[in-house]
Amino acid sequence: MTETYSEAIGRTESRDELIAADRATALAATLDYETAPAEGAALPPGWHWLYFNPFVRRSQIGHDGHPKRGGFLPAVKLPRRMWAGGRLTYHDSLTVGKSATRDSEILNVVSKSGRAGELVFVTVRHRLSQNGALCIEEEQDIVYREAPAPGAKKSDPAPAPEPAARSETVAPDPVLLFRYSALTSNGHRIHYDRAYAQQEEDYRDLVVHGPLTATLLQGFASAVGRRLARFEFRGMAPLFVDRPFSLQCGDVEDGALSLWARGPEGELAMQAKAAFSD
């Protein structure tokens, strides 16, 4: 019988953290940007994922490098988990150098069983505020699933849209992945432990972080349009270390933009939509 984990729905937690300038400066250097947001400046979209991440004691880390199951998120027993996508609304920018609060709630937990085996979908809502004013609302989709059966055939990814109005190439080397993992307190071994990624999670190589790709797409969108007001994304296929991929988009229409990450073999790795403020 599939476990529902319904007791987790409605669970809440709150975290306070300084939106420290040195962390933002470190991400700017990691992404090879010439400038970084200084104290008092607006934090770029997606950069809030640098903050509010617990750095737990070594004895509290699970086999996959994440904190052990339980606590705020439900203690789902399925071994593999991924951040599959999300939706963000930017009411205002977070200000670098000021403290912020993130209030979180588990909105839903859905268990399913099908051809892919057992799956558990967890939807988490975060509200980030400064000085009592709501700045960012976000929903994250987290998926837990069974390990693949030995020799199981992998489905072919969908092709990326063509043509693209604009394109930018990203070369994800091991140092980029390591530094982003460190900055986001992300110990998931698929991003730095090649043997684990290949032998235990059945990936071809080290995996590029989904949030890193989503952050790059938000920066790409911001360079095309005006201030980002809404952004939604969904991971479609993994991207791997040392295999350059492209950030691509169509044309801005009625204040909205379709964009995507195109893998090195033309596959659709992440699809996204952005909307801009007037």
pLDDT digits (tens, 9 = 90+) for 59-110: 999 999 999 888 899 999 898 999 999 999 999 999 999 999 999 999 999 9
Domain count, the chain: 1
- % of the chain residues with pLDDT over 70: 97
Backbone angles phi, psi at 220, to 5 degrees: -65, -45
Residue 6 half-sphere exposure toward CB, CA atoms < 13 A: 4
- Helix axis angle for 210-224 and 174-183, nearest 10°, is 90
Confidence of residue 4 (pLDDT cuts 50, 70, 90): confident
- The overall average pLDDT reported for the chain is 94
Separation of alpha carbons 274 and 35, rounded Å: 24
Within a domain: residue 253?
yes
Structure token pair of residue 136: 């960012």
Within a domain: residue 65?
yes
User: Taking the CA atoms of the chain, what radius of gyration do you get in angstroms?
Assistant: 19
Please compute the mean of the pLDDT values over residues 187-193 and round it to a whole number. 97
Within a domain: residue 1?
no
Confidence of residue 2 (pLDDT cuts 50, 70, 90): low
Please compute the mean of the pLDDT values over residues 272-276 and round it to a whole number. 96
pLDDT digits (tens, 9 = 90+) for 30-51: 999 999 999 999 999 999 999 9
Give the domain extent around 187. Answer: 6-276
What is residue 206's predicted lDDT score, i.e. its pLDDT? 98
Separation of alpha carbons 244 and 262, rounded Å: 9
Please compute the mean of the pLDDT values over residues 167-174 and round it to a whole number. 98
Residues 6+ apart with CB under 8 A from 108: 9, 121, 122, 123
Separation of alpha carbons 85 and 200, rounded Å: 23
CATH number at residue 65: 3.10.129.10
SS3 readout for the chain = CCCCCHHHCCCEEEEEEECCHHHHHHHHHHCCCCCCCCCCCECCCCHHHHCCCCCCCHHHECCCCCECCCCCCCCCCCCEEEEEEEEEEECCCCECCCEEEEEEEEEEEEEEEECCEEEEEEEEEEEEEECCEEEEEEEEEEEEECCCCCCCCCCCCCECCCCCCEEEEECCCHHHHHHHHHHCCCCCHHHCCHHHHHHCCCCCCCECCHHHHHHHHHHHHHHHCCCEEEEEEEECCCCECCCCEEEEECCCECCEEEEEEECCCCEEEEEEEEEECC
What is residue 3's predicted lDDT score, i.e. its pLDDT? 74
